[in-house]
């Protein structure tokens, strides 16, 4: 085996490990890493300590359009774009770095982790498939995830015009909390 082929394989194993540690599903690994499925499953079990989750990946674009997921997806995608365009990082390098920066921001702000790695990867794929576009808010000027080919001349984001229930917790409906004894 030539040294370049061995290095390529080592890089693929390293990429798979990093993605697994960040919470990637097996389907993400199969799409992004050039190792066979059997090897990826064994690697997943070794790194994660469990078998990979079964089931289909999320496909609907609608999840990204709801208020809180849209804010998180937009934040993540803007980081990703900056890393790609200004820092000239390769696609997966930018993806992993953007996701780590997103997670770090969430931790520092003590926020809820809304955007799982698989959703973030799906978001990138939706942009690559021209299913999404970034629309600039006419109030704050920031760019937000929006359906592709949507007229956005008068676009106002969910931060500037949040829905009425945004940020309000659901009422506790447990019997103990309903009436004091």
Binding residues for Zn(2+): 137, 140, 157, 160
Rounded Cα–Cα distance for residues 98 and 5 (Å): 28
Rounded Cα–Cα distance for residues 81 and 94 (Å): 8
Q: Is 141 left (phi over 0), alpha (psi -120 to 50) or beta?
A: left
Whether 144 and 134 have beta carbons less than 8 Å apart is answered as yes
How many residues can be counted in the chain? 181
Which residues line the annotated binding site? 137, 140, 157, 160
């Amino acid at each position: 085996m030539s040294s370049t082929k061995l290095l390529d394989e080592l890089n693929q194993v390293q990429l798979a490990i990093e993605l697994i540690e960040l919470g990637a599903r097996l389907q993400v690994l199969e799409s992004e890493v050039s190792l066979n499925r059997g090897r990826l499953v064994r690697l997943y079990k070794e790194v994660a300590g469990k078998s990979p989750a079964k089931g289909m990946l999320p496909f609907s674009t609608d999840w990204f359009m709801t208020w809180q997921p849209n804010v998180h997806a937009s934040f993540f995608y803007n980081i990703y774009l900056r890393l790609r365009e200004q820092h000239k990082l390769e696609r997966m390098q930018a993806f992993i770095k953007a996701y780590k920066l997103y997670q770090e921001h969430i931790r520092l702000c003590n926020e809820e982790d809304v955007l799982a790695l698989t959703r973030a990867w799906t978001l990138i794929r939706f942009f690559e498939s021209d299913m999404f576009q970034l629309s600039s808010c006419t109030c704050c000027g920031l760019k937000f995830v929006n359906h592709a080919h949507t007229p956005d001349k008068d676009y106002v984001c969910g931060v500037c015009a949040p829905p009425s229930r945004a940020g309000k917790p659901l009422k506790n409906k447990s019997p103990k909390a309903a009436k004091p004894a």
